[in-house]
Structure 1
């Protein structure tokens, strides 16, 4: 073989070997590393969490290099306690009153966006109870003594001549637990979320009314964050919110109805017909906020309600509850 060819070949092999050694010695950052985000929520799978389940099923979180670690906690107040302690990074489908109370008391939490912009509960009662006024002297299951569901129930009962003391409350944080208490005869009525309300109604129980008819101006749930975590992971949070937004848009596309129903049936174990009713209920009432923002008017209405309950001393500046640089106010 020609000596020049041999020398060129040796030089080429030498450079390749050197490149291999250098590549071995220099650490290479992983491409598209996946960020795990611990997300807390209340109870068990329900229609409120539809966007999370859609995002997981359709790969919207994966496309943003995010892996949600979904943690179910029995009650809303307990979820917020864990968020404040740093055990959770984010909470979703969490009643807004608990993070608001926590922030007012000095917790380093903040709201990133609204999720369900009006309360989607139904007051469901035993077969012999036909109307809200028939709940006088009865036992009603709501989420907690300071839970927003108690406010909803009182809002529903007041126009029918019932005031606190005319009925008794018992508490269960998860809607599935309240449904079981009603079906088991432990309570006379309960505030239930879809699809549990449709399941109970199919068993012969009565729908006495919807919370959205009595408190349409009060937002229900939102995404809250631990501020320390959000400060370290603002890009991750933006990707979480982006996946959430894609999921909500997927929900609202009527062509996806069957697929959206399939997703919730798979995670909740509920009957398809009950989940179909849930989809139509949420879709008709536009419960999921599509803007990704926080309505100033709705936020003020909720703060005023909490002031009226004595939970807040005054409305004050609502921006103290929002995550700077992420949460956006709308008029």
Structure 2
């Protein structure tokens, strides 16, 4: 074989290898990416290369049900989504597995009033209008728990649907409600305009709010890819804790925020009070999953008992992160 032919063959093989590597890299789905604070570690992981080139991009979808449908309908192997949406789908026969516990609390939630409001704490909400986004939402369930935590009866407070969390702040401005729910980064963005009377981290025990999920088919065939996603996200969680300023700069770009707002949001969630951190490296908190299921029963979004351990596959987590064993 001539030197020229050998050179051409080497180039062809290199091109094939590069094409194969590109084919193995793919997109993942993260619910409300670029909006909800839960997905911030994925922005950091992408920017810092923590996925080792295995992820080409991150798709966003609105809400858990949409994300689950996207996962089941396409070639996507990994999604971040509400555990309630996943558990409901599995109970209905969907071939899914929960493989990581990504957010262990609802610390991103807080409740805001106008700066001149006479409402100082949740004890003052009797006879007032408390907003929530939509029926069967986490914000509705938490609104009911706020009333309970204040020692009031459901009839003591009027719960008002606003259609969304951004819309809740508009309703607050217009006087349609007295207390608006908000989540990070909105809490940090509007902290000067409104007054926060309570945060979820101060009021409630841990509630697992977001999980990583895959299909049963991908779990059997795509182990290396799934482990890379979990490991890369875990690196990002540690990075956000150790270098919040640099992490905030990345978050600000992806979430289209001013950097001081992004930094405040990152710090608030890193420093939120409670027994567990907001962003988990993947380790499961079964008590938190059960508590989240209980809150959804309150609003009619779930019913009956559930065995989370039957829906979980911990094999993609590091040995030290496994709790079911």
Tell me if both proteins adopt one fold, taking TM over 0.5 as the criterion. yes
Q: Find out whether 1:104 has 2:91 as its counterpart.
A: yes
SS in 2 for 1:202: coil
Gaps of 5+ in 1: 1-13
Deviation, 1:167, is: 1.3
Pick aligned residue for 1:281 from 265, 268, 272: 268
Q: Any idea what SS the aligned residue of 1:71 has?
A: strand
Q: CA RMSD in A?
A: 3.1
**CA distance change for structure 1 residues 326 and 45 in 2, over 3 Å: closer, same or farther?**
same
Instruction: Give the aligned partner of residue 39 of structure 1.
Output: 29
Residue equivalent to 2:252: 265
Alpha-carbon shift at residue 250 of structure 1 (Å): 0.7
1:184–1:236 distance in 2 versus 1, CA, 3 Å = farther
Given candidates 47, 50, 56, the residue that maps to 1:60 is 50
Unpaired segments ≥5 residues, structure 2: none
For 1:108 and 1:55, how far apart are their aligned partners in 2? 28
> How far has the Cα of 1:307 moved from its partner?
5.4
How far has the Cα of 1:198 moved from its partner?
Answer: 2.2
- 1:125 pairs with 2:116: no
The CA deviation at 1:244 is: 0.7
Shift of 1:54: 0.6
Given that residues 28 and 59 in structure 2 are in contact (C-alpha distance below 8 angstroms), is that contact kept between their aligned partners in structure 1? yes
Between the aligned partners of 2:208 and 2:245, the Cα distance in structure 1 is 27
What is the Cα deviation at residue 52 of structure 1?
A: 0.8
Q: Residues 239-270 of structure 1: CA distance to partner in whole angstroms, max 9, x if unpaired?
A: 111211111111111xx122112112222233
Q: What secondary structure is seen at the aligned counterpart in 1 of 2:39?
A: helix
How far did residue 294 of structure 1 move? 0.8
In the TM superposition, what is the alpha-carbon distance from 1:119 to its structure 2 partner? 0.9
State which of 2, 17, 20 in structure 2 corresponds to 1:29.
17
User: Which deviations, in whole Å up to 9, do the C-alpha atoms of 1:64-84 show, x marking residues without a partner?
Assistant: 4322232242x3333334334
Q: Are 2:128 and 1:152 aligned?
A: no
Alignment partners' CA distance in 2, 1:224 and 1:298: 17
Checking the alignment, whether the CA contact within 8 Å between 2:147 and 2:154 is kept in structure 1 is: no
Aligned to 2:42, what secondary structure does the other structure show? helix
Name the counterpart of 2:58. 69
Query: How far is 1:20 from its partner?
Result: 5.6
Counterpart-to-counterpart distance in 2, 1:76 and 1:143: 15
For the residues of structure 2 that align with 1:107 and 1:139, how far apart are their CA atoms?
A: 39
Matched, 1:95 2:85: no
Change (3 A) 1:190 1:77: farther
Mark the CA change 1:96 to 1:171 in structure 2 (over 3 Å): closer, same or farther: farther
Cα distance in 1 for partners of 2:6, 2:188 equals 65
Q: CA deviation at 1:137?
A: 4.7
1:325 alignment partner, SS class: helix
Q: So what's the TM-score if we normalise by structure 2?
A: 0.81
After superposing on structure 2, the runs of 4+ consecutive aligned residues of structure 1 that deviate more than 6 Å are 24-27
